[in-house]
């Protein structure tokens, strides 16, 4: 990932965003025309088919081409502040105008909107307090309170405040430079576990079976996230399979099948009551091997981690994987609901102790004031954040990008 940090001159970047907008608008027009043409052709075909059917008098209008389920594409919105900001964030990462897509703009807009509540109680207030004056030791106290309130966690807050204090002892720091420094420090905290893990981005490796276990307590968004991951993965041409190993929730399998259908990914399940989760995984691995699957996504049950047997179950699932596919690349991803703030952090800590986690996925970043908890997860649980979710739609999940996250969290308007 290329992350240039210099601020582009704001007039230039507005001009840049305007050009990007014009280009996307043109592309969208062309796509619309193309779709219209396809629709017309389809109707013509249907008409011919109907006439044929009438002739041979078979009332069957069902298997006409083009009935596959489509997933709504995002529309290009207004050329507004959201667009400009999103385009600038992409530009700052080295994207060229013709590489920008409506999908990316749409996502960044969602992320920025989602973090609005976190930002409101934080940057906006901070900027109000600072005005245009340079930072003082008192403003650091305010900042400390605001960071804690945004659920950034005590350790990360201490770290950031002490680097700022050191900087203040050496030079005068204006409000704008202060925010820039803050962004840099927060990004360092988030990036540390990512760097330590040795890979910036979690992607399935070709030629091996990749198994991703989604773990976490009830209601945090495991099943939804798994559905979104299946979509992302199959869209990226990885052969994908789902194992429905949450055998405790009656509706869990049905819920997964709906997600699987939407992205054309099969779901391996066992409908019998109280089926053994490890047995489902066993079947799924057999299927995965037969079909040459790249990525097997495993949904797990989420009863509270204080109940030991949940951890025992996870251990059993892992043992099965180790035994059947010793060279599989296994990821245990803890799903955390950002809106639970410190509570989520507590869960993360207790899971980390016993579940041998390799990463985290933060969900529900749309509309929480506690987005800062992502920093606490990086600093205190030392887990690389791999994906973030900001909405209930199939496309509302993206690989985690620390630059974009920090920019969205601290966007100053």
Ligand X SMILES: Nc1nc2c(ncn2[C@@H]2O[C@H](COP(=O)(O)OP(=O)(O)O)[C@@H](O)[C@H]2O)c(=O)[nH]1
Task: Residue 104: name the closest of 125, 131, 85, 121 by CA.
Answer: 85
According to the binding rule CB under 6 A, does residue 73 interact with ligand X?
no
Q: Which listed option, Mg ion, ligand X, none, makes contact with residue 390 (CB within 5 to 8 Å by class)?
A: ligand X
Report the greatest alpha carbon distance in the chain: 89
Does 391 bind ligand X (CB under 6 A)? Our answer is yes
| Stretch of 3-11, 199-207, 230-238, 389-397 lying at the interface with ligand X (CB under 6 A) | 389-397
The helix-helix angle for 222-235 and 252-262 (nearest 10°) equals 20
Give 222 or 395: the residue with its C-beta nearer to Mg ion. 222
Instruction: Select 130 or 213, whichever has its Cβ closest to ligand X.
Output: 213
Beta-carbon contacts of residue 221 (< 8 Å; ≥ 6 apart): 335, 337, 363, 364, 389
Q: How far is the CB of 337 from ligand X (least distance, A)?
A: 7
Q: By rule CB under 6 A, what count of residues binds ligand X?
A: 17
By beta-carbon proximity to ligand X, the closer residue of 204 and 216 is: 216
Residue 224 near which of ligand X, Mg ion, none (CB within 5-8 Å, type-dependent) = ligand X
DSSP-assigned beta bridge partners for residue 387: 361, 399
Q: How far is the CB of 242 from Mg ion (least distance, A)?
A: 12
- Structure tokens belonging to residue 121: 């109680």
Residue nearest to Mg ion (CB): 223
Taking the complex as a whole, how short is the minimal distance between the CB of residue 228 and ligand X, in angstroms? 8
Smallest distance, Mg ion to C-beta of residue 302, A = 6
Q: CA 174, CA 178: separation in Å to the nearest integer?
A: 6
Does residue number 392 form part of the binding site for ligand X (CB under 6 A)? yes
Q: Does residue 304 bind ligand X (CB under 6 A)?
A: no
| Sheet of 266-268, strand order | 266-268, 240-245, 295-300, 210-215, 329-337, 359-363, 385-389, 397-399
Contact between 302 and ligand X per CB under 6 A: yes
Give the closest residue to 268 by CA, choosing from 248, 289, 282: 282
Compute the distance between CA of residue 218 and CA of residue 228 in angstroms, rounded to an integer: 18
| 363 belongs to the binding site for ligand X (CB under 6 A) | yes
- Binding string, 185-224, against ligand X, x = CB under 6 A? -------------------------------x-xxxxxxx
Binding residue count for Mg ion, defined by CB under 5 A: 2
Nearer to Mg ion among residue 109 and residue 255 (C-beta):
255
SS3 333: strand
Which of 110/222 has CB closer to Mg ion? Answer: 222
- Is residue 299 a contact partner of residue 244, using CB atoms and an 8 Å limit? yes
When the beta carbons of 119 and 222 are compared against Mg ion, the nearer one is 222
- 263: exposed, middle or buried (C-beta count within 10 Å: 0-12, 13-18, 19+)? buried
- Using alpha carbons, list the distances in angstroms from residue 139 to 129, 150, 153, 173: 8, 16, 19, 11
CB of 30 to ligand X, least distance (A): 32
CA 86 – CA 256 distance, rounded (Å): 32
Please list, in sequence order, all residues whose beta carbon lies within 8 angstroms of the beta carbon of residue 210, skipping any fewer than 6 positions away.
204, 294, 295, 296, 328, 329, 330, 331
The crossing angle, in degrees rounded to 10, of helices 81-92 and 10-56 is: 100
* 401 is a contact residue toward Mg ion (CB under 5 A): no
269 forms part of the interface with Mg ion (CB under 5 A): no
Name which position in 84, 86, 118, 223 contacts Mg ion (CB under 5 A). 223
From 20-28, 201-209, 221-229, 289-297, span contacting Mg ion (CB under 5 A) = 221-229
Q: How far is the CB of 213 from ligand X (least distance, A)?
A: 13
- In order of 102, 199, 201, the CA distances from 1 in angstroms are 20, 11, 9
Of 12-20, 57-65, 305-313, 358-366, the segment contacting ligand X by CB under 6 A is: 358-366
Q: By CB under 6 A, name the binding residues for ligand X.
A: 216, 218-224, 302, 363-364, 366, 389-392, 396
Q: By CB under 5 A, name the binding residues for Mg ion.
A: 222-223
């Amino acid at each position: 990932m290329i992350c240039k940090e210099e601020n582009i001159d704001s007039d230039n970047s507005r001009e840049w965003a305007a050009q990007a907008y014009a280009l996307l608008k043109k592309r969208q027009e062309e796509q619309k025309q193309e779709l219209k043409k396809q629709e017309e052709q389809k109707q013509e075909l249907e008409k011919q088919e109907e006439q044929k059917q009438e002739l041979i008098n078979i009332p069957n209008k069902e298997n006409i081409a083009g009935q596959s389920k489509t997933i709504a594409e995002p529309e290009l919105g207004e050329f507004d502040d959201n667009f400009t900001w999103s385009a600038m964030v992409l530009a700052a990462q080295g994207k060229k105008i013709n590489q920008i897509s409506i999908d990316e703009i749409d996502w960044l807009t969602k992320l920025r909107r989602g973090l609005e509540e976190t930002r409101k109680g934080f940057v906006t207030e901070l900027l109000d307090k600072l005005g245009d004056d340079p930072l003082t030791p008192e403003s650091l106290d305010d900042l400390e309170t605001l960071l804690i309130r945004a659920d950034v966690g005590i350790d990360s807050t201490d770290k950031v405040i002490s680097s700022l204090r050191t900087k203040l002892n050496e030079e005068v720091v204006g409000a704008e430079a202060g925010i820039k420094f803050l962004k840099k420090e927060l990004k360092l905290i988030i990036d540390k576990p990512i760097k330590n893990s040795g890979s910036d981005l979690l992607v399935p490796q070709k030629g091996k079976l990749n198994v991703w276990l989604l773990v976490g307590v009830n209601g945090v968004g495991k099943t939804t996230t798994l559905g979104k991951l299946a979509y992302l993965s199959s869209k990226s041409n990885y052969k994908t399979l789902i194992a429905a190993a949450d055998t405790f929730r009656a509706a869990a399998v049905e819920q997964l099948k709906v997600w699987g259908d939407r992205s054309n990914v099969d779901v391996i399940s066992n409908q019998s009551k109280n089926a053994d989760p490890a047995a489902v995984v066993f079947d799924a691995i057999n299927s995965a091997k037969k079909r040459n699957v790249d990525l097997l996504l495993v949904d797990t049950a989420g009863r509270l981690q204080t109940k030991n047997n949940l951890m025992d179950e996870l251990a059993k699932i892992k043992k099965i994987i180790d035994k059947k596919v010793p060279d599989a690349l296994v990821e245990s991803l803890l799903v955390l609901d950002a809106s639970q703030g410190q509570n989520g952090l507590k869960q993360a800590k207790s899971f980390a102790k016993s579940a041998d986690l390799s990463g985290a996925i933060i969900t529900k970043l749309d509309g929480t004031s506690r987005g800062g908890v992502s920093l606490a997860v990086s600093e205190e649980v030392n887990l690389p954040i791999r994906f973030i979710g900001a909405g209930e739609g199939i496309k509302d999940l993206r690989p985690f990008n620390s630059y974009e996250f920090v920019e969205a969290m601290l966007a100053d308007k």
